[in-house]
Amino acid sequence: MIRSCGNEKDSDALVIVDLENKGRNIEINSKLKDMFGEYMEKAIIEILDEMEIKNIKVILKDYGALDFVIKARTKVAIKRALKGGNK
Amino acid sequence: MMRSLLISSVTPKILANAHLYEADYLIFDLDKTISIEEKDSARELLVQAVKHIDYNLDNIIININLISSDYWKEDIKDLFAAGIRNFGIHLEEEKHIKEIDEFLRVLENKSNVEEGSCKIIYSIGKPFLIMNIQNIVMSTNRILALSFNKDEFRGKIKVERHKNNEDLSLGKKMLVMGSALKDIYCIDSPFEDLSDEDNFIKEIKNDMNIGFNGKICFHPSQVRIINNIYKDSYYYKD
């Protein structure tokens, strides 16, 4: 199930998740990847651990979002994917 | 003190800055400003913001969805878990008050929070509800403030807009009477025209004279004006 959450707007982030994946793949697209890439990944992993998701592909398109934004967008994208899968 | 209440929309940029504007209270709106498809993401964004940004949680109010909608229970549940205790609700029917009280009571007991610690700001505009204000105020101990919903009031009264807001005066005065029954705040809805500062000030002063304690606003520039006027009011002097 591929689902997304967020916007391609300033200070926001778009997160796309695919639950049909083996293991965890996290792809980060950001102008600030060199500086903050590891923090972005940490924020996403924190949510994945919290929701106990083991198999997932996450694509983050960051437009200067703070980490609470990335966390929120990731969480809702996963929730939407889980919901969509049941239908 | 509840002089100024700044309404903020739930977007990443605004959430990170809203607490810097010296408003006495911040209102985050999940109701009208959020489209149906984005209710879940806005709620989660708010939860994460509350956890990560050093807001003063006592001064945060979350405007939740209508009680007749499917979203209000989740709104309260998620934000309660994040530490929020003040909720803003647009009151549609009197019977909803009992439903809300009961829901909050169960939630508080389940999480070992003292019963009655969740407070509510009711936005009231229907003339029928305003006439019943005594019953509403006396039926619950959770009211933090009453807010006058002028758009709804005006829609029901069916008069042309007055420049001096004479059409609203009876509704406002009755709400003040209601808030006087217990020690709760009475606050007014936002002034729309940002360019018309003279009438904005006039409206605040007029409100203050009939017994209001605060005003909602949606632009940071209005906060200081409101605070300055209410600073000298009889209510806040001591």
Q: What is the pLDDT of residue B177?
A: 95
**B189 band by pLDDT with thresholds 50, 70 and 90:** very high
Q: Is B98 on the interface with A (CB under 8 A)?
A: no
- CA B32 to CA B20: how far, in whole Å? 24
Contact B13 A6 (CB under 8 A): no
The pLDDT value recorded for residue B237 is 80
pLDDT of residue A85: 55
Domain containing B82 equals 4-237
Say if CB B223 and CB B12 are below 8 A apart: no
When pLDDT is averaged across residues B171-195 and rounded to a whole number, the result is 93
Using the beta-carbon criterion (under 8 Å), do A71 and B48 form an inter-chain contact? yes
CA distances from B98 to A81, B88, B94, B142, B193 (A): 36, 15, 8, 11, 37
Residue B27 bridge partners (DSSP): B7, B61
pTM given for the model? 0.92
Complex-level ipTM: 0.92
Rounding to the nearest 10 degrees, give the CA dihedral for residues B12, A33, A78, B68.
0
A87 band by pLDDT with thresholds 50, 70 and 90: very low
CATH of the domain at B27: 3.20.20.60
What are the residue boundaries of the structural domains of chain A, listed by start?
2-86
Partner residue opposite B12 with nearest CB, options A11, A75, A76: A11
State pLDDT tens for residues B105-163.
999 999 999 999 999 999 999 999 999 999 999 999 999 999 999 989 988 888 777 77
Of chain B, the percentage scoring pLDDT greater than 70 comes to 100
Task: Outline where DSSP puts E strands in chain B.
Answer: 4-9, 25-29, 60-63, 86-90, 119-124, 143-148, 185-188, 214-217
Flag whether residue B68 sits within 8 Å of chain A, measured between CB atoms: no
What pLDDT is stored for residue B156 in this prediction? 87
| Tens digits of residue pLDDT in A25-72 | 999 999 999 999 999 999 999 999 999 999 999 999 999 999 999 999
Q: Smallest Cβ distance to A12: which of B12, B40, B44?
A: B12
Taking the CB of residue B135, how many other CB atoms lie within 10 A of it? 12
Task: Say if CB B204 and CB B231 are below 8 A apart.
Answer: no
Sequence-distant (6+) residues with CB within 8 A of B9 are B28, B29, B33
Residue A12 phi/psi, 5-degree rounding, is -120, 180
The CATH number, out of the four listed (3.30.230.10, 3.30.70.660, 3.40.50.970, 3.40.50.150), of the domain defined by the range A2-86: 3.30.230.10
Indicate the number of domains in chain B: 1
**Which pLDDT belongs to residue A36?**
94
Are A6 and A15 in contact, with CB atoms under 8 Å apart? yes
Q: Which residues contact B180 (CB under 8 A, 6 or more apart)?
A: B211
Question: Which chain A residue lies closest to B51 (C-alpha atoms)?
Answer: A68
Q: To the nearest whole percent, how much of chain B has pLDDT over 90?
A: 84
Residue whose token pair is 């010296």: B22
**Cβ contact, residue pair B40, A10, below 8 Å:** no
Contact B40 A76 (CB under 8 A): yes
CB-count burial class (<10 Å; 0-12, 13-18, 19+) for B212: buried
Answer whether A72 sits within 8 Å of B48, measured CB to CB: yes
